[in-house]
Amino acid sequence: MKEDTAFVVPGDRTFFPVEINPDICNGCNKCVEVCQVDVFAPNPEAGKPPLILFPQECWQEGSCVEVCPRKGAIRWKRLPSSRVRCRRKETGEDFFI
């Protein structure tokens, strides 16, 4: 093994607070730059979506979604424990946000 070789071992992957759609993402890495806790890392392949290395570190404040220039490329999800149950008046259907 070379001395300049590095290995990254991702943490717990039971819940991913962010999802990146590789069909929409152009690999601009703006989400990597804005993330305050370094959830993402640039992909070594140019033009590919960033790597989500530490999803458990996400503060869930959504700056990655806000800074993304391609709508729908990155989606932020709330923790299941912090979702709010709502009911549509018209249909009575329950849904979560």
- pLDDT tens for 30-77 read 999 999 999 999 999 999 999 998 888 888 788 999 999 999 999 887
Q: Which domains does the chain have, with CATH numbers?
A: 18-96 (3.30.70.20)
Residue 10 above 80 pLDDT?
A: no
| C-alpha to C-alpha distance for 11 and 1, rounded to whole angstroms | 24
| C-alpha to C-alpha distance for 24 and 49, rounded to whole angstroms | 9
How many other C-beta atoms lie within 10 A of the C-beta of residue 64?
25
Q: Which of 70, 22, 17, 16 is nearest to 50 (CA)?
A: 22
pTM of the model: 0.65
Q: Which residues contact 62 (CB under 8 A, 6 or more apart)?
A: 76
